Copies of this chain bind each other. A is one copy, B any other.
Amino acid sequence: MLRDLSGDTSLMSLNTATVREQWDLKEIINGCVRHKIGGISPWRDQVSAIGLDETAKRIEDAGLRVTGLCRGGMFPAADAAGRQANIDDNRRAIDEAVTIGADCLVLVVGGLPGGSKDLADARGQVFDGISAVLDHARSNHMPLAIEPLHPMYAADRACVNTLRQALDMCDGLGAGIGVAVDVYHVWWDPDLEAGIARAGANSQLLAYHVCDWLVETKDLLLDRGMMGDGVIDLKGIRTWVEAAGYDSLCEVEIFSAANWWKRDPDDVLKTCVTRHQTVV
């Protein structure tokens, strides 16, 4: 039984990357208010550009739910000093997520350290890095959300590439950590339905992100599609997500250098809202 999104823009959240080339974070917050969007998920560089406290105040004044902060992670490094620097940065990210009242800190865990071909080692570094910050997250009541990334990013962005792998890692880490499910990364997975159910059963389903997979895709990173323009069965996946107990917002996150990042941002938000109501 799917929730009816057709009349309710409050169940949409905007990941701020979606209009990052057109607006700063102040303008994005104002845009969310104008389009009656219920939530927001900002990126740390955009927060930093206008200031953390300023961000927190503006989001609170706007009445927006913060479905996540993007992003922590990027744990692997070629040496111990690099790994420690990444751990320190993740502690700061946790603090920032607390300050803006985020539901979770999204972790894009990182790929192979420079020069390495050892995925198992990189995955071990990710586990160790998260372990090193998890108590800090727990004591600040900030859930961490591992986002499994599409296998095409295994080398350079995230060596956690399936939902099952992310959940196995969560189980090894204990309380205070779950997953962010982004359809772009997981839509192809034959085990997706089972993974979503497992995440829900263990209260590990912390965020749900939507966009679409274009055929054909012209760029590995910056050619995501608007919901409805691609081949992902969005309603089918949302059915699994809601059956697993997820009752939070659907976060729209579109990296689109050649298309949506070149359009009028108010038109982009209008399209996101319309598509959220009709095809998500």
Contacts and interface: CB of A to CB of B under 8 A. Distances in A.
Interface of A: 112, 116-119, 123, 150-152, 154-156, 159, 161-162, 165, 187-190, 213, 215-217, 220, 230-233, 236
Report whether over half of chain A's contact residues are helix, strand or loop; otherwise say mixed: loop
Contact of A150 (B152, B155, B190, B230): B152
A123 B165 CA distance: 23
B151 A119 contact: no
Given A162-B190, A188-B161, A232-B117, A155 B220 contact: no
Contacts of A151: 150-152, 188-189
Contacts of A216: 156, 220
Given A190-B161, A190-B162, A190-B165, A152 B233 contact: no
Nearest to A188: B154
B155 A118 contact: no
A233 B119 contact: yes
A190 B220 contact: no
A236 B155 CA distance: 16
Given A190-B161, A190-B162, A117 B233 contact: yes
22 contacts: A112-B231, A116-B231, A117-B231, A117-B233, A118-B233, A119-B187, A119-B188, A119-B190, A119-B233, A123-B190, A150-B152, A154-B187, A154-B188, A155-B188, A155-B215, A159-B188, A161-B188, A162-B190, A165-B190, A216-B220, A217-B220, A220-B220
Contacts of A162: 190
B165 A231 contact: no
- Which A-B residue pairs are the 10 nearest by beta carbons? A154-B188, A117-B233, A151-B188, A155-B231, A152-B152, A155-B215, A165-B190, A151-B151, A156-B215, A117-B231
A69 to B, nearest CB: 26
A188 B119 CA distance: 8
A119 to B, nearest CB: 7
Contacts of A154: 187-188
Contacts of A217: 152, 220
A187 B116 CA distance: 14
Contacts of A187: 119, 154
A117 to B, nearest CB: 4
B150 A213 contact: no
A181 to B, nearest CB: 15
A154 B231 CA distance: 10
Contacts of A213: 155
